[in-house]
Amino acid sequence: MTTRTFRFRMFEVSREADRSAEPEFEAVCVSGDEKDCGEASGPLVDAERLDTWMAEHTRDTGHQRFRRAYCEYATVEPGAWL
Ligand SMILES: [Zn+2]
């Protein structure tokens, strides 16, 4: 959790605890000489499954470079004026 002060008001930014808002892991293959391969894992719910997807893509294609992203949901709670 982080706290920022903006125009003399406190704002609390938190990771959303709601179970329906699970983090997402995703990778896109960026291997290729002139153009990236571009094959994407799509959103996955855990890092281990993403590792598996990348390993299988490397096994099948020989491609070894990926752009990997992690996303989660956050909420901002306006707090007290200072
Ligand atoms: Zn690829």
Q: How far is the CA of 56 from the centre of ligand 1 (A)?
A: 10
Among 47, 48, 38, which residue's Cα sits nearest to residue 71?
A: 47
List Cβ neighbours of 58 (8 Å cut-off, separation of 6 or more).
64
pLDDT at 19: 62
Which domain, by its residues, includes 33? 20-72
Please give the torsion angle defined by the CA atoms of residues 48, 53, 55 and 61, in that order, rounded to the nearest 10 degrees. Answer: -170
**What pLDDT digit, counting tens, does each position of 21-75 carry?**
788 999 999 999 899 999 999 999 889 999 999 999 999 999 999 999 998 888 8
List Cβ neighbours of 41 (8 Å cut-off, separation of 6 or more).
25, 26, 27, 28, 50, 53, 54
Q: How far is the CA of 51 from the centre of ligand 1 (A)?
A: 14
Q: How far apart are CA 45 and CA 62, in angstroms?
A: 25
pLDDT at 60: 97
Q: How far is the CA of 28 from the centre of ligand 1 (A)?
A: 8
pLDDT at 7: 65
**What pLDDT digit, counting tens, does each position of 1-15 carry?**
777 766 677 888 888
The number of domains in the chain is 1
